[in-house]
Amino acid sequence: MSEDITALSATALLEQFRQGGLSPVEVSRAALDRIGQLDGDVNAFCLVDPETTLRCAQESEQRYRTDQVRGVVDGVPVAIKDLFLTPAWPTRRGSKTVDPAAQMGKSAPAVAAMERHGYVPLGKTTTPEFGWKAVTDSPLHGTTCNPWDMQRTAGGSSGGSAAALAAKMAPLALGTDAGGSIRIPAAFCGIVGFKPSFGEVPHWPPSPFGTLAHAGPMARTVEDCALLMNVLSEPDIRDAHAVPRRGIDYQAGLGAGIAGLKIAFSANLGHVDVNPEIERAVAVAAGVLRELGATVTEVDPSFSDPLGAFGHLFYSGAANALRDLGTRKRELMDPQLVQVAEKAARLSVLDYLAANNERGQLCERMAQFHQKYDLLLTPTLPITAFGLNREVPEDWPSTRWPTWTPFTYPFNLTGQPALSVPCGFCREGLPIGLQLVGARYNDALVLRAGHAYQQAAPQTRTLP
């Protein structure tokens, strides 16, 4: 029975709670049991606290018994990436340089919102140091494995959250994304990850990666991501970049379908070398969207690869994260992080401003593009998951991770909503993801299209 419970979506769990078929305590115990069975090998969690989890679950169970349900995720266990502040638990950010006692008692906006809605905190999930790369390993917490193949990476930097979802250790999770860090592990692990429009989900303290960084939901279904967006998008005055609240119910129009939408399908953005199996899988998904009534046109958005501009802005963020750390602390850190941060510290102000200029041009280009097309469909990644403890695949022509994530980081530069949804498996049995990108602040439409696709083409292959 516990295995069946761990396979249920958050939406299904909430229905069970309301009907009395399951209790938050049963579900939390099943999740903790699953973690105990599997996480010694997967390493998705860096902190699990059964006492706190079960106490919160018992409080939720009592609210259901007395008809005093607190909010829309009351009783649902949520895994929290270890970049979000949690009041009862330390936030180490994958780094030996962070004092475990620092900022205890404080909640990130996403965590505070979930607290208001009665969630059950399940634990903190692994991240590379300060979330700096697209695979998940750190000097503090070690390496996170992909549950589909334990010799391969889960991706990153929200790799712990993605692995926990794929292995059915949690029904919901939080992630952050400054260059693809929600969508990359979502694609590698075969789950759903949503990067909202910049500012749609309040985030505090500010990320060292500045306005590239987004916070968002991760789940096994698009419907669950929409559910969690209704919580995460609540206002929080601490985020100076948060957009004014628009009172959107992300679940309300989720089932409206996509008939009449104009979708641009770009298999390679005009410049990316894509694994043929991935290209075929996303082309099949484009056919599904056509069958659902959308007009799907093969067209590239016609922008040159903004890798250089992204690198200047992102790695300047890494330098910012390390700005106050001396030699002794840097010796405790991931040496590759130290290397890129020290290189970025030598950039000039004009280098940084030139990158921002290119970013502005890309924002304008995509705004114009979405005057003609409602959505852009691409692969999430051009490759499937590769070996552990590597920043790039074997024999890769570059040493840095953004070179294999060319479909994700452009939309951190533009701040657009982008969703990764599973769309099949390669011959080796590894998941493949498609990406749906919308105009800025059209998050609800992106989720609606992803939900329509997932309902029409559900992935029936699951982990035991």
- Please give the positions annotated as active site: 81, 157, 181
The sign one gets for the Cα dihedral 361, 365, 370, 371 is positive
Say if residue 402 is preceded by a cis peptide, omega within 30 of 0: no
- Alpha-carbon distance of 323 to 150, in angstroms, equals 35
Q: State the amino acid at position 129 in one-letter form.
A: E
Contact 199, 415 (CB under 8 A): yes
First to last CA, the chain: 13
Please answer whether residues 430 and 152 qualify as being in contact, where contact means their C-beta atoms are separated by less than 8 angstroms: yes
Q: Where are the extended beta strands (E) located within 276-328?
A: 295-298
Cα–Cα distance list, 436 to 20, 129, 433 (Å): 37, 28, 10
The structure tokens listed for 246 are 């628009």
The sheet carrying 77-81 orders its strands as 45-47, 120-125, 77-81, 172-177, 214-219, 192-195, 418-425, 431-438, 375-379, 262-265, 295-298
Cα–Cα distance for residue pair 354/285, rounded to 1 Å: 37
User: Which of 74, 76, 54, 52 is closest to 64 using CA atoms?
Assistant: 74
Q: How far is CA 398 from CA 312, 401, 403, 432, in A?
A: 16, 8, 7, 22
Strands 45-47 and 431-438: unpaired
Give the ranges where 122-201 is alpha helix by DSSP (H): 159-166, 183-189
The beta strand positions in 128-223, using DSSP E, are 137-138, 142-143, 145-146, 149-153, 172-177, 192-195, 214-219
Torsion of CA 439, 443, 444, 450, to 10 degrees: 90
Residue type present at position 138:
S
